[in-house]
Amino acid sequence: MTQKTELEKSRRDFLKLAGTGAPLAAV
């Protein structure tokens, strides 16, 4: 269950970065 929480947190952080235009940097 902890693993899922970490995954959700990472995904949430990624989406937050994506919202600021970081996806280009990620790619």
pTM for the predicted model, two decimal places = 0.43
In whole numbers, what is the pLDDT of the chain averaged over residues?
Answer: 74
- How far, in Å, CA of 12 to CA of 15, rounded? 5
Higher-pLDDT residue of 19 and 9 is 9
12-23 per-position pLDDT tens digit: 888 777 676 655
pLDDT tops 70 at residue 3? yes
DSSP 7-18: HHHHHHHHHHHH
Cα radius of gyration rounded to whole Å, the chain: 10
* Per-residue confidence band for 1, with pLDDT thresholds at 50, 70 and 90: low
First to last CA, the chain: 29
